[in-house]
């Protein structure tokens, strides 16, 4: 009798234990989160795996993960719900590509020219109908001015790569680096009429730049670009074309990919490799474009230790020397597919007037300096930094906000600009030609929307000066301008 009771108690206890285990398994059945890093972008998305019995197609989950990765790269925060089955990231079905995935763009960049090989590179790019970005050395630009002109005339972008590429000089003291950047800027300006805002540090920024280098270049309005993919065409003398092509193929295939190559003296093998490199990216579905202020700079992370021993430059030197560059972009460069004599796109979003189907009269640039007095101080604009259009004064958007000590963030996929100054938030929809007055940072309230007539000229976005100042609550008290005189166009 006692044995029967004991058996009954043991069976009851065992059943209760099984129920408890089942409940805990149901509640905590999801495995710990595993992080997936997307190439070298520095962004991570959560990958969740669940032991739930509900089944979801593998393609659906891959789309969720791909969308999350793409959105993280675009700077958007996306929450990924736990998947109902293990996520497989190797599926390649077209139907699994998220609809909002940005186009794949590759930026071919060439350093150390122009040289005898630059002509060959330009010939190939012209034949392939592809655009590139050339980071030139000042001394090479002075030796080969016709090639610098050709780079611009054929719609490529120009960047600054220092004057002589001497590491020991460039990275021993920021003042020497600055001197070379300004010397190259002046050399290029004498040839094409403007100073490039694009900069690439010889050898890249890693172990070469410290925080002050980054900060002062940014303060002056320069855009410093490193790269995603190194073709390895300069890792030693005479790297064969086959190895250069393989170096590119071994690189990451990101939605926006910057490729490092060289067109300087001794890089004939890069010329041989270039056609196959272009074909490779075309087969991968990439389009080609030039770097500009619309493309967020790719920059290596600041190294914990520096290769160079140096001291920081003084505040007095900075105030006396680090001034905003005179031209904010590749003002003379054409957009891909744009003819050299083609007029810039004008009006909101760069579209013709819907009523007349005609574009308005061309803006007029003046040969006088404009000085604006505000309650926050004076703003000065050189002759090529403002223009008159439809009875309004236009200035480059990025330049205006940064001179107010505000911040500008571009979203190239959405064609949107978000700006902040003195805790005031303003957004611009470039495509639709609308400005959103969001209000104070951190506040919830009604967003006021007003039309904004934008002028896009090459890679510069111009906005009405007074309208943007009003949006930020900056009161203009007076302005000073010498008699207006339109600049005579050069034939």
Q: Which long-range contacts (CB under 8 A, 24 or more apart) does 54-57 make?
A: 54/84, 55/84, 55/85, 56/83, 56/84, 56/85
What confidence score (pLDDT) does residue 367 get? Answer: 62
What confidence score (pLDDT) does residue 364 get? Answer: 62
pTM for the complete prediction? 0.53
Give the residue ranges of the chain where pLDDT is below 70.
1-102, 326-367, 412-413, 439-446, 458-459, 481-491
User: What is the C-alpha separation between 428 and 415, in angstroms, rounded?
Assistant: 9
Q: Rg for the chain (alpha carbons), in Å?
A: 28
What confidence score (pLDDT) does residue 49 get? Answer: 28
User: H or E segment at 401?
Assistant: helix 397-403
Nearest to 162 by CA among 201, 193, 195: 201
What are the residue numbers of the active site?
111, 262
Planar angle of CA 374, 376, 378, nearest 5 degrees: 55
Residue-range domains of the chain with CATH:
27-96 (no CATH), 105-321 (3.20.20.370), 348-481 (3.30.457.10)
What confidence score (pLDDT) does residue 361 get? Answer: 54
What confidence score (pLDDT) does residue 382 get? Answer: 82
Task: Provide the 3-class DSSP secondary structure of residue 143.
Answer: helix
What confidence score (pLDDT) does residue 131 get? Answer: 95
Strands 157-160 and 198-199 turn out to be parallel
C-alpha dist (Å) from residue 356 to 269, 333, 361, 388, 433: 53, 29, 13, 22, 18
Task: Provide the 3-class DSSP secondary structure of residue 333.
Answer: coil
Q: What is the separation of C-alpha 474 from the centre of its chain, rounded to a whole number of angstroms?
A: 28
Task: Provide the 3-class DSSP secondary structure of residue 303.
Answer: coil
């Amino acid at each position: 009798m006692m044995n029967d009771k004991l058996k009954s108690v043991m069976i009851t206890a065992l059943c209760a234990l099984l129920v408890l285990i089942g409940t805990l398994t149901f509640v905590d059945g999801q495995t710990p989160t595993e992080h997936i890093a997307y190439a070298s972008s520095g962004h991570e998305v959560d990958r969740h795996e669940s032991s739930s019995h509900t089944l979801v197609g593998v393609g659906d989950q891959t789309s969720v993960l791909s969308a999350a990765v793409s959105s993280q790269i675009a700077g958007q925060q996306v929450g990924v719900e736990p998947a109902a089955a293990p996520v497989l990231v190797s599926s390649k079905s077209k139907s699994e590509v998220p609809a909002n995935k940005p186009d794949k763009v590759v930026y071919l960049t060439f350093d150390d020219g122009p040289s005898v090989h630059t002509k060959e590179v330009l010939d190939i790019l012209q034949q392939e109908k592809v655009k590139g970005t050339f980071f030139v050395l000042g001394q090479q630009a002075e030796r080969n001015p016709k090639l610098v002109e050709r780079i611009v005339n054929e719609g490529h972008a120009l960047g600054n790569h220092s004057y002589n590429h001497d590491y020991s000089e460039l990275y021993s003291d920021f003042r020497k680096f600055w001197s070379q950047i300004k010397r190259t800027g002046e050399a290029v300006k004498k040839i094409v009429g403007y100073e490039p805002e694009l900069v690439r540090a010889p050898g890249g920024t890693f172990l070469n730049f410290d925080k002050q280098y980054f900060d002062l270049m940014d303060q002056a309005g320069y855009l410093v670009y490193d790269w995603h993919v190194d073709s390895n065409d300069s890792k030693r003398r005479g790297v064969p074309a086959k190895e250069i092509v393989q170096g590119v193929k071994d690189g990451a295939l990101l939605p926006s990919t910057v490729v490092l190559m060289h067109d300087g003296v001794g890089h004939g093998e890069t010329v041989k490799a270039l056609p196959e490199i272009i074909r490779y990216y075309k087969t991968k579905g990439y389009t080609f474009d030039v770097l500009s202020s619309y493309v967020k700079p790719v920059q290596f992370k600041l190294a914990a230790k520096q290769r160079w021993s140096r001291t920081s430059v003084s505040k007095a030197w900075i105030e006396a020397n680090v001034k905003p560059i005179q031209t904010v972009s590749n003002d003379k460069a054409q957009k891909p597919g744009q003819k050299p004599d083609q007029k810039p796109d004008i009006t909101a979003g760069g579209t013709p007037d819907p009523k007349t189907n005609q574009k308005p009269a061309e803006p007029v640039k003046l040969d006088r300096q404009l000085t604006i007095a505000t309650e926050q101080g004076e703003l000065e604009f050189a002759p090529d930094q403002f223009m008159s259009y439809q009875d309004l004064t236009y200035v480059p958007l990025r330049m205006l906000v940064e001179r107010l000590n505000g911040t500008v963030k571009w979203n190239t996929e959405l064609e949107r600009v978000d700006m902040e100054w003195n805790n005031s938030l303003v957004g611009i929809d470039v495509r639709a030609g609308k400005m959103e007055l969001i209000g104070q940072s951190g506040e919830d309230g009604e967003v006021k929307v007003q039309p904004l007539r934008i002028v896009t000229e090459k890679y510069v976005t111009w906005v009405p000066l007074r309208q943007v100042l009003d949006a930020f609550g900056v009161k203009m008290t007076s302005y000073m301008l010498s008699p207006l005189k339109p600049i005579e166009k050069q034939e």
